Amino acid sequence: MRVEISHKFVVGIIIVVASVVLLNILVPQMDIPEWTHQWIIIIGALLVGLIFGWLFSKAFSANIKILREGAERLSEGDLSRKVRLRKGLFSDETEDLSVSLNLVVDSLRNLVGQIRTSSVNVNESSLALSTTAEEMTAAAHEVAGSIEQISRGAETQAEMVERASKVIREMAEQIELVTSVAGKLSISSEETTISARQGEGLTAKALENLKDVLSQIENNAELIVAFSEQVQKIGSIIDVITNIAQKTNLLALNATIEAARAGEYGHGFAVVAEEVSKLADSTSASAGEITRLIETTREQSQKVQQSMADSVKAIDAGREAVDITGSAFKTIIDKAETAQVKSVHIRDLTEKQRSGAQALVVAIEEIARVAEDNAASTEEVSASTEEQTASMEEMTFASQRLSKLADELLVSVSQFNMGAVQEPKG
Amino acid sequence: MRQLLPFCIGAEKYALELFDVQEIVENVVIYPFPGAPEVVAGAIGFHGRIVPVVNLARLLGDRESPLGQRLIVLTNEQGPVALGVSMVLPVQKLEATREQLPDGDAENPFVSCYLYWENDMITLFNLQTLRSQLELLCGSTGV
């Protein structure tokens, strides 16, 4: 039965008053002096009041003590026991207080348990986070190194691309030149073909002219041979004339001798002999001159014959050479036509190559720009990676601090005694 | 006026008086004498007579110069003998000459005298020396 404390005090006062009343009735009937009646009533009322006061205060202070001890345990973090009041006949507000205090204990126990579990979880998570952060920091360092390498590679790539761009531009210029030369080559090969055809026609004409010249030279050689034979005959005649002149000279000489021997009578004869001698000398000189001329003519004719023979041989060789030249011109024409076709092909190819080179120049310039952008981006990524690394290091430090805080929280939570039932797992 | 018949013996030029010359013959066959001295080249047939041929080059000590085609046949007063020379030159007529005799024994014994005219000079061959030399040679060899 529930009786509030105030009601219990009222009941106690009523009981004291009732005991006074009862004593006032009973004591006069007792066989004791009258003057003691008053004292006995007072003392009896005091005793009743003390007994009831002691009983009430004892019951009340015992519960208060239990509550105080429960509150002290609670303040000390002992959540292992609940507040248990002694069972009385009449419950009061202390019972409500103990229930409330036990509710607080339960709540705190749940809360501490949850805090402990959460702290353990936070500790484990912060440790895992720290490990992950360290791994991520290491990975970030590696990434930073890789990014730096990539950055250097990007710079090298940009430089190489710049060089390649320069080389390709030069190559494009050279291809431009090659294209121009290929065009000229095509024109030249076409002109070569035309010239070779003209040369073939001229060679045919030259061959015909050579044949005519050869036949004329052969005729001339025959004429020269006939002329040499005639000159040889003239030489024979001149030999006769020379012989006659010598004989005449000898006769004139002997006639001069005879005339000299005849003295004055031979004077006229001597004059005639002298004239004859002069004629003979003149004849001999002329014959000698003719002989020399004939000799010279014969030598010249022999030279001419030899020259003719050499010319014939040379013309034969020339005819063969012209034949070879003609066939060579045919070969040249074939080759030139083939070369013309090939040069046209080369010209077309070089034109395509020139277009390709220009496109390549544009592409390599784009690549160069992209490489420069990549290098810049890589530098930015490198900076970001460094920032990320710093952040990861901060995060590692923060997770370590969090782990430390979780440990401290666990230490703090461990101060609560929750008994064996409420120990958190892990 | 003097008429001379010049002739060459090797590089030397001599001359004979034209009246000492009988005839000039040409391209005649010379028949050699067995046992004759080397200055006698042989003999020729001259108008039915046998006339010896003297190699003047050999006589003058020139063993190199060959004989020419013409031989100088001397008159009967001088031989008869034919002179083999290197070359017979045309007759020369000299209007005015100056003679100079050779000096002493140091001169060539076959030089009769030197004839000078205008800016030229010719050596006259000494036939007497020739004759004496031939007699001397023929006497020694018994030809």
pLDDT single digits (tens) A305-356: 787 778 777 777 777 877 787 787 788 888 878 887 888 888 888 888 888 8
B89 at interface of A, judged by CB pairs closer than 8 A: no
What pLDDT does A424 receive?
46
Closest partner residue to A260 among B19, B26, B90, by Cβ? B19
What pLDDT does A415 receive?
78
Residues of B whose CB is below 8 A from A254: 23-24
- Which chain A residue has its CA at the smallest distance from B70's CA? A250
- DSSP element (H, E) containing B23: strand B21-26
What pLDDT does B96 receive?
66
Let me know: does B103 contact B22? Beta carbons within 8 Å.
Answer: no
What pLDDT does A425 receive?
47
- Which chain B residue has its CA at the smallest distance from A248's CA? B26
What pLDDT does A426 receive?
41
Among B1, B16, B18, pick the best mutation site for testing chain A contact (most A Cβ within 10 A): B18
Helix axes A267-414, A93-262, angle to 10 degrees: 170
What pLDDT does A311 receive?
76
What pLDDT does B44 receive?
94
Measured CA to CA, the distance from residue A345 to residue A339 in angstroms comes to: 9
| SS3 (DSSP) at B24 | strand
Under 8 Å CB pairs connecting chains A and B tally to: 30
Interior angle at CA B62, CA B13 and CA B73, nearest 5: 60
Q: pLDDT tens, A26-53?
A: 888 888 888 888 888 888 888 888 888 8
Secondary structure of chain A as H, E, C letters:
CECCHHHHHHHHHHHHHHHHHHHHHHHHHCCCCCHHHHHHHHHHHHHHHHHHHHHHHHHHHHHHHHHHHHHHHHHHCECCCCCCCCCCCCECHHHHHHHHHHHHHHHHHHHHHHHHHHHHHHHHHHHHHHHHHHHHHHHHHHHHHHHHHHHHHHHHHHHHHHHHHHHHHHHHHHHHHHHHHHHHHHHHHHHHHHHHHHHHHHHHHHHHHHHHHHHHHHHHHHHHHHHHHHHHHHHHHHHHHHHHHHHHHHHHHHHHHHHHHHHHHHHHHHHHHHHHHHHHHHHHHHHHHHHHHHHHHHHHHHHHHHHHHHHHHHHHHHHHHHHHHHHHHHHHHHHHHHHHHHHHHHHHHHHHHHHHHHHHHHHHHHHHHHHHHHHHHHHHHHHHHHHHHHHHHHHHHHHHHHHHHHHHHHHHHHCCECCCCCCCCC
What pLDDT does A369 receive?
83
Report whether pLDDT(B81) > 50: yes
Average pLDDT over residues A58-62: 82
Residue count of chain A, please give it.
426
Contact check, Cβ <8 Å, A257/B26:
no
What pLDDT does A266 receive?
84
Task: Identify the bridge partners of residue B25 per DSSP, sorted by sequence position.
Answer: B71
Helix axes A5-26, A35-76, angle to 10 degrees: 160
Q: pLDDT tens, A85-98?
A: 877 777 888 888 88
What pLDDT does A269 receive?
85
Closest partner residue to B23 among A246, A254, A277, by Cβ? A254
In chain B, DSSP finds a helix count (H) and a strand count (E) of 2, 12
Q: pLDDT tens, B15-53?
A: 999 889 999 999 899 999 888 888 899 999 999 999 999
Interface pTM, i.e. ipTM: 0.86
The conformational region for residue A278 under phi > 0 = left, psi -120 to 50 = alpha, else beta, is alpha
Contacts of A404-412 with CB under 8 Å at 24 or more apart are A405/A122, A405/A126, A406/A119, A406/A120, A406/A122, A406/A123, A406/A126, A407/A119, A407/A123, A409/A115, A409/A119, A409/A122, A410/A116, A410/A119, A410/A120, A410/A123
* Residues 6+ positions from A8 with CB-CB distance below 8 Å: A56, A90, A92
Q: Chain-wide mean pLDDT for chain B? A: 85
At residue B62, what are phi and psi to the nearest 5 degrees? -95, 105
Which region among A64-78, A104-118, A139-153 has the lowest average model confidence (pLDDT)?
A: A139-153
What pLDDT does B43 receive?
93
Residues of A whose CB is below 8 A from B88: 253
Q: Is the entire prediction scored with pTM above 0.95?
A: no
DSSP B33: P
DSSP B31: B
Closest partner residue to B90 among A247, A254, A277, by Cβ? A277
Report whether pLDDT(B126) > 50: yes
DSSP B136: H
The structure tokens 């023929």 sit at B138
**Is the peptide bond preceding residue B80 cis, with omega within 30 degrees of 0?**
yes
Average pLDDT over residues A381-396: 82
B31 at interface of A, judged by CB pairs closer than 8 A: no
State the pLDDT confidence band at B107, using cuts at 50, 70 and 90: low
DSSP B127: H
Residues of A whose CB is below 8 A from B72: none
Residue B82 C-alpha, separation from nearest chain A C-alpha, in angstroms: 14
Contact check, Cβ <8 Å, A260/B70:
no
Residue B71 C-alpha, separation from nearest chain A C-alpha, in angstroms: 11
State the pLDDT confidence band at B54, using cuts at 50, 70 and 90: very high
Residues of B whose CB is below 8 A from A246: 26
Residues of B whose CB is below 8 A from A272: none
Among A249, A256, A279, pick the best mutation site for testing chain B contact (most B Cβ within 10 A): A256
Contact check, Cβ <8 Å, A257/B90:
no
What pLDDT does B143 receive?
52
State the pLDDT confidence band at B140, using cuts at 50, 70 and 90: low
Residue A234 C-alpha, separation from nearest chain B C-alpha, in angstroms: 24
Q: pLDDT tens, A113-167?
A: 888 888 888 888 888 887 887 887 787 778 777 777 877 777 788 788 888 888 8
Let me know: does A104 contact A74? Beta carbons within 8 Å.
Answer: yes
Contact check, Cβ <8 Å, A256/B18:
yes
B30 at interface of A, judged by CB pairs closer than 8 A: no
CA-nearest of B5, B10, B32 to B85 is B10
